[in-house]
Structure 1
Amino acid sequence: MRNRTIVNSPQQLNLDWAQAILSNHEELTEVEINEVNVTSVDIGTTTRVRIAVEHNVPDVPKQWFVKLPSLSFRAKAITALPRLLPTEVRFYNELADQVPLNKPKLLFAHNRFGRGSTLVINDVSEFGAIPGRVGDALTVEQARLVIRQLAQFHAHFTNKARNGRDFRWLAGPVRRLEDGLGAALAVPLMRRGLRLAGEYVAAGLHGPALRYARHRKKVMRFLSSAEPTLVHHDCHPGNLFWHNNQPGFLDWQMVRVGEGIGDVSYFLATALTPESRRQHELALLADYHEIMAENHSVKTDFNSLLNRYRAHLVYSFEAMIVTLAVGGMMPLDSNLEMIRRAAQAIEDHDAFALLQNVG
């Protein structure tokens, strides 16, 4: 039956396919599907499809969100080797139930070597949640809620990531391949991204950014040297949803073992306007530090945590620049806005200079 559920294009999301998805759940085998309609298709790092599924059981989701391999050649070339969608499939199958965060409900997740990967979750809008949009500028109260959720998430996995064998696959050959690919492409992608970004990145950042790219492997080793936990690693506004004024987290294809403050740097650099971040980031970082300390999950003082926060800002900038350089993975105006925000954070904290001796 799983052979019928692994598909590679929106055209294959038909009634027979949807019936096969539900047949993987013993308690749903009696559900009779009457109609399947594709309502939207969005192509980025993956192909994301929303479908409406008409059936005869009230408590089973009728709005499904399906992730398939990207139909964009350039995006697929970047994401295929590090196996980003297969990583998210495995996350939902093996780890999602342990993660103390709001997440979509899983309907189906499977990867078949040589055939592709298919992930089916409920569309969060069906129960009144509001999906975030890439480039949204969050309020400080929204940011505080996200930071507190990230702290609980990181605290929960600190000891488990340090000692548990269940997470070795997140730091295994696939991650090493991803790091090697990132190092090999860092300079040409940084150079292209800076050129395309134009006035969104100050000219004074170009030289330090290219120097960082040339020494990326050593910098990544430094950024991975602190207390490990489970991290989302792609926590920007477009990967959130909001339900009853509380955040939920989407898009787990970059999940890995890493330093928790890296998620915080990435989030604050991309989700707040520079003005709001400057005004509130120290208080938000203090909230994070306090929650981690209460859970005995941080062993450094606040100033040390602040320095790690500053250092990790370089990745948020690189991620947005690389997204622009590859193209087709994010709406252009949103991508440029998040580059502007991340570049301002880099300048405010002189983050490249902080890492100068690492390389």
Structure 2
Amino acid sequence: MNQNIVVRRPADLSRRWAQGIVNHYAADAKVSDISIQSVSIGTSTRLRVLVNHDAPDIVPLRWFVKTPSLAMRSRLITALPRLLYKEVLFYQSLSKASPVKLPNILAAQTRFGRGSTLVMTDLSEYGFTPGQPGDALSLHQARQVIQQLARFHAHYWNHRHLLHTHRWLSGFNNNVEHYMGNLLAVPLMKQGLKLAGNLVPSKLHLPALGYAANRHRITQSLATGPQTLVHHDCHPGNLFWQDAQPGFLDWQLVRMGEGIGDVAYFLATSLKPDCRRAHESELLNLYQASLAKHRVDEIDENTLFQRYRAHLSYAFEAMIVTLAIGGMMERSSNIELIKRTSAAVEDHDSLAAIAVGV
């Protein structure tokens, strides 16, 4: 798409702006009106809009638009590593080959110095149900997600060439993200633990601060396994559903990494602790069997579990840091996910495990 569709604020969503997108699919169609139905501000600004035009059989009427966050603190955290930029490039260059269900993208563009904008069909147009961050998934839903994650990971297994053909997966953006994460790890962990109070068992506080102090070494340790493309933020709010089949949203943190990290993040955030404890082994076995079904069978069961145990620490850190920054997730959902991830790392003594290099 040659037209500039990058916007910085809701007021930029004009009839002319929408006309350019519609004309990309239906040259003679006319847009009569555009109205913003809702605005949600977190790591990005998310707008649901209604676009009235005369080609609804070709272009949907309801759109979902993502622009840089209007919340200053969230914007500062996400702007330098250009997270929305990465998501736009994922949809532009990798989504067509993806073996999992993704949203329908109408337009995706990034412009140097102006930012990035992503326009997709609103999930309601196709009868999809968007997930919410605090959702507690059923065992059946968890099985479906695990099988799809295995399918996705197997598709990109050991495709290290992606780091060269898609340099945005590494390079400057990735380096900035790691640098900022390491620089802010201790103060954000302290602030997050303070705000969380008794939501995090007191015996986890010291190991959590140790994790933050050694974050650079630990993140390197968490990247030593077989490499594949990973979502890296697979919680219930980044899923959508149709007839119990999951799709995956919000690819701002996509990267090359260890597939079991996605599994750990998903199970720690998406299942209530009692459900996770009861079915964890079954779901890990399902992931391993699903990988093997797609011709990936190089990880033994014990190694898989130990890597799972270690990666739980990142899910915990992510939720604590989200609380510390504020405004990135609805607080009630953030609190619920802190409870779940705290239980997971406590059950497996994950913070201590990663501290000694498991």
The TM-score range, normalised by the shorter chain, is over 0.9
Alpha-carbon distance, 1:214 to partner: 0.3
Look up the match of 2:31.
Answer: 33
Deviation at 1:272, TM superposition (A): 0.3
Q: Per the alignment, do residues 76 and 315 of structure 1 end up closer, same or farther by CA in structure 2, a change over 3 Å counting?
A: same
Give the equivalent residue in structure 2 for 1:42.
40
CA contact (8 A) 1:161 1:167 kept: no
What is aligned with 2:156? 157
* Partner in structure 1 of residue 306 of structure 2: 307
C-alpha distance after superposition, 1:294-346 (max 9, x if no partner): 32324121111000000000000000000000000111110010000000000
Quickly say closer, same or farther: Cα 1:165–1:297, change in 2 above 3 A. farther
Matched residues in 2 for 1:347 and 1:164: separation?
35
**8 Å Cα contact 2:230-2:255 kept in structure 1:** yes
Task: Report the more deviating stretch, 162-171 or 329-338.
Answer: 162-171
Q: Tell me the residue number matched to 1:269.
A: 268
User: Partners in 2 of 1:251 and 1:340 — Cα distance?
Assistant: 23
> Deviations for 1:95-148, whole angstroms, at most 9, x for unmatched residues?
111111111111111111111111101111111111001110000100000000
Tell me, yes or no, if structure 1 residue 225 matches structure 2 residue 224: yes
Q: Give the paired residue count.
A: 357
Give the secondary-structure state (helix, strand or coil) at the position aligned to 1:111. Answer: strand
Partner SS, residue 53 of structure 1:
strand
After superposing on structure 2, the runs of 4+ consecutive aligned residues of structure 1 that deviate more than 6 Å are none
Is 2:53 aligned against 1:55? yes
Match of 1:178 in 2: 177
Letter of the 2:103 partner, please give it.
Answer: P
Shift of 1:164: 6.5
Separation in 1, partners of 2:78, 2:285: 35
In 1, are the aligned partners of 2:50 and 2:63 still within 8 Å (CA)? Answer: yes
Partner of 1:260: 259
* Amino acid of the structure 2 residue aligned with 1:12: D
Give the aligned residue type for 2:10: P
Indicate how the Cα distance of structure 1 residues 325 and 298 shifts in structure 2: closer, same or farther if over 3 A, else same: farther
- Look up the match of 1:17: 17
- Identity fraction in percent: 52
TM-score, with structure 1 as normaliser = 0.97
CA contact (8 A) 2:26 2:58 kept: no
Tell me what 2:293 maps to.
294
Q: Residue 158 of structure 1: SS of its match in structure 2? A: coil
Query: Is residue 158–residue 226 contact of structure 2 (8 Å, CA) maintained in 1?
Result: no
The residue number in structure 2 matching 1:347 is 346
What is the CA-CA distance between 1:59 and the residue it aligns to?
Answer: 3.1
- Equivalent residue number for residue 127 of structure 2: 128
Determine the C-alpha separation between the residues in 2 that align with 1:219 and 1:330. Answer: 25
Three-state SS of the structure 2 residue aligned to 1:142 is helix
Gap regions ≥5 residues in structure 1: none
Tell me how far 1:234 sits from its aligned partner. Answer: 0.5
